Structure 1
Amino acid sequence: MASRRPEQNKLAGIALRLCAATCFAGMSALIKLAHLHGMPTIEIGFYRFAFGLPPLILWIALSRNWTAWRTARPGAHAWRAAIGLSTMMMGFSALAYLPLAEATTIGFAAPLFAVMLSALVLKEKVGLHRWSAVFIGLIGVLIVMQPEGSDMPMIGLVLAIGAAFGSGIVTITIRQIGRTEHTQTTVLWFTCLAVLVLGLFLPFYGTAHDATTWGILLALGTVGGIGQLLLTASLRFAPVSVVVPLDYAQLLWAVLFGWLLFADHAAASTWAGAAVIVGSGLYTVYREHKLGRDKAKVEAEAAAG
C-alpha cells in the first residue's frame, strides 16, 4: 500500500530545512578540519559517503521502500554520479584553500547556473526577469572573488566556481532523472556508486588516523547524511518556494563556525557579495513560484471552461 503524502505543514518544513542548513554548514567545517589534519580530498569524500550510508538505509527502512535500489536507468544514475562526485570533490578541495564564509557564498551561485543551464539544456523558457537575476548574482560572485587584489588563492576560487557550476549541472540532471525515478533511488545509487569509485582510490590515498581524525570523519559523514535526509523531508511538508530561501542560513553558520574554529573573519566584500547573490537567488525563487502559480491558475481555468 502506497504511503500517504503528509499534510502540508510549513512550520515543520521550515524547521527541517533550517536543520539541514545547519548540518551542511557543520559538514563543511568538519571537511576543513579534516584537511587541517592532513587528509586528502579523496579520502574525505570516501568517508563522507561511507558514514552517510547508514542514515540513508535507515531512511529507506523507515519508509518501507524496499525497492529503492531498483532502476530502469542505470546509465542515467552513472552519469549523475560522475557529475555529482566531480562537483563534490571540487567543493571539498576548495575548502582546503578558502575560508568557510567565502566558499559557502560562492556556492550559492549554483541555482543561478541551474537557471542558465535549464534554458540551454532543457530549453525551458527563461524570461528577462530571471536572466537579470542571474546576471546580478554573478556580479555578486565577482565581488566576493575580488579578481583584482584578492588575497585568496586563485586555485581555491576556481575550484569553488567549478563546484557551483557543477551543482547547477547536477540540479538539471536530477530534474531529468526525477521524472521517472524516486528520490530515494537517486540518492541510494549516487551514494553507493560514490563509495565504490572512491574506494578504488583508497589504497593509494588512505592513511592511518588517530582517534580525533576518525571522530571528524565519522561526524562529517553522519552529519552530511542526516542533512540530506532533512533536506528531502522538508520538501514533503512545505513547497520549494517556502523552504529554499532558508538554505541561505548556511552562510550565517559558516561565518560562525569560521570564527569559532579557524579565527576567520568575513571581509566586507564577502558580506556585500553575499547580499547580492542571496537577493538574486531569492528573486529567482519568487519568479519560479509566481510562474508556477500563474500556470496552475491558467490550467484550472481551462479545465473549468
Structure 2
Amino acid sequence: MAQSLTSHRPGLAIALKLSSVLLFAVMSALIKASSDAVPPGEAVFFRSLFAIPVILIWIAARGELRSGLVTERPMMHFWRGVIGTSSMGLIFAGLGLLPLPEVTAIDYATPMLVLVLAAVMLGEKIRLIRISAVVIGMVGVLIMLWPRLGSTTADSAATLGAMLILGATALKALVQIHIRRMVETERTSAIVFYFSSTAALLALLTIPFGWVMPDALTATQLVMAGLVGGGAQILLTSSYRFAPASMLTPYEYSSMLFAILIGFLWFDEAPTLIMLAGAALVIAGNVLVAWREHQLGLTRAKVRAVSDPKG
C-alpha cells in the first residue's frame, strides 16, 4: 500500500525534498551568522536540543510516540550519536571559516566516500561505472581544495575550514554506513530522535571549552537553527515516503543555488569559478552514482531519510 502511494505522488516528494534542502541551507546560514559569538559545541547543543520538540510532534502525529522510540540496540544509537555529533561540530566550526557555497560544495563528497567505505567495511562491490564516478568526484574535491592547499599565500583560517569540512564529510559517510546496519532493526523515528538527544548531551561536554551567554539576537538564531533543522529533517524523511531516493537525489544539488543566493544576500559571499568547476565535477560523479544505483535497483531511501545532512 505504501509503495503504491510512493509511486503516485512524485510531485509531493519533490516539493518536500526541495523544501528540506532550502531549510537546511537556512539552518547553515543561521549557524554561520552566530559562529563569531558562540563556539561550535554550544551551537551543536542548541541545534540538537531545539530539534527535539519538532521531532516529537512529528512522531506523535504519525501515532508512533510509544512504539516509534523503542530500540533493540541502544549502543548503536550511542555510537551513531558520537560520530554524527563530531561531524556536526566540525561542520559548524568550518562554517565560521569558509563561504557558505564552498562548505556546501565540499559536503557533496559524502556520497563518494560512502561508496568507498561500503566497499571496505560492508564488502559491497563497486564496478567500473561507480569507480569512475568516485574518481570524477574526488578530482572535483581536489580542484575545490587546491586554492586552500596549493598556495603559500592561502589564508590559514580558510585552509583550516576546508580541512574541518572535509573531516566532517568523512564522518558523515561513516554515519551513513552505520545507519545501513541500524535500519535492519531500528525505526526511522528512533534513529532521528535518539541522535538529536545524544548530540545535545554530548555537546554539554564542551562547556569547559568556552561556552558564552549569547545575546538576544544570537540566541534567537541558535534556537531557530534547531527548529528549522528539525523541520528540515522531517521534510527530508517524508519525501522518501512518496518517491524513491534515486529519483530525488538530483534535487539535492539545488542546495548550491540556495547557498549561493543566501551567501550573497546575507554574507556578501560570491563563489569562485574554481569552486564552481570543482562542484560541477562532484555533482556529476554523484549523479552518475545515482543513475547506476537506479539501474541496479539499489535505492537506499530509508538510509538517506535518516542521514545527518549538514548537521
1:42: which partner in 2?
A: 41
Distance in 1 separating the partners of 2:298 and 2:41: 43
Question: Structure 1 residue 275: deviation in Å?
Answer: 0.6
Q: How many residues align?
A: 291
Instruction: Output one character per residue of 1:132-164: Cα deviation in whole Å (capped at 9) or x when no partner.
Output: 100110000011112323745221111111011
* Sequence identity (%): 38
2:134: which partner in 1?
A: 134
Instruction: Output one character per residue of 1:210-263: Cα deviation in whole Å (capped at 9) or x when no partner.
Output: 221111011111111101001100000110011121111111111111111111
Instruction: Output one character per residue of 1:44-86: Cα deviation in whole Å (capped at 9) or x when no partner.
Output: 0000011111110011100011222211101111111111111
CA contact (8 A) 1:101 1:258 kept: yes
CA contact (8 A) 1:71 1:181 kept: yes
Distance in 1 separating the partners of 2:239 and 2:188: 13
TM-score by length of 2: 0.90
Question: Structure 1 residue 206: deviation in Å?
Answer: 2.9
SS of corresponding position for 1:285: helix
Question: Structure 1 residue 4: deviation in Å?
Answer: 5.7
Instruction: Output one character per residue of 1:96-154: Cα deviation in whole Å (capped at 9) or x when no partner.
Output: 11110111100000000000011000101111110110011000001111232374522
Q: Tell which deviates more after alignment, 124-133 or 152-161.
A: 152-161
Question: Structure 1 residue 271: deviation in Å?
Answer: 0.8
Question: Structure 1 residue 199: deviation in Å?
Answer: 2.5
> Which of these residues, 148, 151, 156, is aligned with residue 150 of structure 2?
148
Q: Which runs of 5+ in 2 are unaligned?
A: 300-311
2:213: which partner in 1?
A: 208
Equivalences for 1:43-58 in 2 at 5 Å? 43-58=42-57
Equivalences for 1:68-79 in 2 at 5 Å? 68-79=68-79
The code of the aligned residue for 1:249 comes to S
The code of the aligned residue for 2:5 comes to E
- Structure 2 residue 222 is the aligned partner of structure 1 residue 222: no
Distance in 1 separating the partners of 2:199 and 2:95: 20
Question: Structure 1 residue 194: deviation in Å?
Answer: 1.1
Distance in 2 separating the partners of 1:187 and 1:142: 32
1:247: which partner in 2?
A: 252
Q: Structure 2 vs 1, CA of residues 198 and 134 (structure 1 numbering), >3 Å: closer, same or farther?
A: same
Q: Tell which deviates more after alignment, 183-192 or 104-113.
A: 183-192
> Which of these residues, 147, 153, 169, is aligned with residue 174 of structure 2?
169
Distance in 2 separating the partners of 1:181 and 1:165: 23
Q: Structure 2 vs 1, CA of residues 206 and 109 (structure 1 numbering), >3 Å: closer, same or farther?
A: same
The code of the aligned residue for 1:239 comes to P
Question: Structure 1 residue 6: deviation in Å?
Answer: 7.2
CA contact (8 A) 1:23 1:224 kept: yes
The code of the aligned residue for 1:51 comes to F
SS of corresponding position for 1:179: coil
Question: Structure 1 residue 5: deviation in Å?
Answer: 6.4
The code of the aligned residue for 2:173 comes to G
Q: Which runs of 5+ in 1 are unaligned?
A: 295-305
Larger radius of gyration: 1
1:94: which partner in 2?
A: 94
| CA RMSD between the two structures | 1.7
The code of the aligned residue for 2:50 comes to F
Instruction: Output one character per residue of 1:156-182: Cα deviation in whole Å (capped at 9) or x when no partner.
Output: 111111011111111111111011111
CA contact (8 A) 2:81 2:195 kept: yes
Question: Structure 1 residue 200: deviation in Å?
Answer: 3.9
1:298: which partner in 2?
A: none
Distance in 2 separating the partners of 1:259 and 1:284: 31
Q: Structure 2 vs 1, CA of residues 293 and 214 (structure 1 numbering), >3 Å: closer, same or farther?
A: closer
TM-score by length of 1: 0.92
Distance in 1 separating the partners of 2:53 and 2:208: 23
